[in-house]
Amino acid sequence: MGQGSKLYRLDHLGDNQWHEIADLEGAGISNIKRMAFNGINQLVIVDQK
């Protein structure tokens, strides 16, 4: 899940809480609106200005 420049992951099988995994502000990303996963190891992120 995205909020602002940050990505979060829900540990559904663990504590069932959202955990921050990255802050992409340094890459110029400030407003994450959508994501797509390639099923292996890459994400595409939509940053809305």
Binding mask 2-41 for another protein (x = CB under 8 A): xx---x-xx-xx--x----xx-x--xxx-xxxxxxxxxxx
Total binding residues for another protein by CB under 8 A?
Answer: 34
State how far the Cα of 46 lies from the Cα of 38, in Å rounded to an integer: 14
Is 39 in a helix, a strand, or coil? coil
Judge contact between 24 and 8, C-beta under 8 A. no
How far apart are CB 17 and another protein at their closest, in Å? 9
Judge contact between 8 and 20, C-beta under 8 A. yes
Interacting residues toward another protein by CB under 8 A:
1-3, 7, 9-10, 12-13, 16, 21-22, 24, 27-29, 31-49
